[in-house]
Amino acid sequence: MTLDRRSFLAGTAGLIALGSCKLPAAEGLDEFSFVIVSDTHLGRQDSRTPERQWKAAIAEINEAPGDFALHLGDVVDQGREPQYPLYAELRKTLKKPIHEVPGNHDPVALFEKHIAAPIDRSFDHAGVRFVLFNNAHTDSHLGFITPEQIAWLDKQFAEAAEKKLKIVVGCHVPIHKNSPPDRAWYVKPEEGQTAFYELLDRHADRFLAVFHGHFHNGIRGWRDHKNVVEVLCPSICYNQNRNLELALKAGKTDGFFVEELRPGYVLVTLGQGKLTLRYKPLGAEQHGEYAAEWTA
């Protein structure tokens, strides 16, 4: 049985909610929802645990509200090629469309062979253009955006403007600068961050959010650039870093953080002037809630 959104949010155990944030660019959008997963790391340390967790996530997502799913990278661990066909087989059991980008564990050639080609691509849904691109190196935790990608992104954003579409971006490595207690992995200014933010500035009136994976912690994010929400999403495989909440409370770092480190995924609701993110730990038995609200 497929649950409607209200029943799912009321009845699924272990739902931890990050409260709605006011999002002026989302005004006029009819409300819809989707799911974000990341960092499945199939084949990690020859363990079957990531495979079991991805299967469990698929079963839950099939019952959850949401028109589609985004996967924000590190589909497999250490580029282990035999894991890609396994991922592809399991993906067939997912009852929603899913759109993936590679992470730093996903060699481009293998990703294109087994998952999706071209990697940098977009799709339109419910008044929003979702723009997905690869910004991860397999030999570094830092990210990049090439001049060619900047030109492609510029074209995508311009087309969205012509069609009066809002914009959501998805990639693996965060673009926002961060430092400990964060991982300090991001796209540095000279590697494309400056050029990306220049594009964002030109289209800020229709930019909604930028979603990333990579960090393996709770929902972590910022809203200090043109009111655009930049969000790091948790891993289905494992999460860590318990120091962020203490640092935030002590005023030693910025942004927001949901300290929930069980493997899980994010339920996203967008429209009617707001963005709502809800953390769903896999197989959790207890409800919990964390709420934060930003003013425009």
- Please provide the size of the chain in residues: 296
What domains are defined for the chain? 5-281 (3.60.21.10)
Greater model confidence, 274 or 131: 131
Confidence band for 228, pLDDT divided at 50, 70 and 90 = confident
**Which pLDDT belongs to residue 19?**
60
CA distance 169 to 165: 13
Cα separation of the two ends of the chain? 39
**pLDDT tens digit sequence for 243-290:** 887 787 788 888 888 878 899 999 998 888 888 888 999 988 433 333
CA angle 76, 219, 34 (to 5 degrees): 75
pTM as predicted = 0.92
Q: For residues 2 and 33, is the Cβ–Cβ distance under 8 A?
A: no
Q: For residues 277 and 289, is the Cβ–Cβ distance under 8 A?
A: no
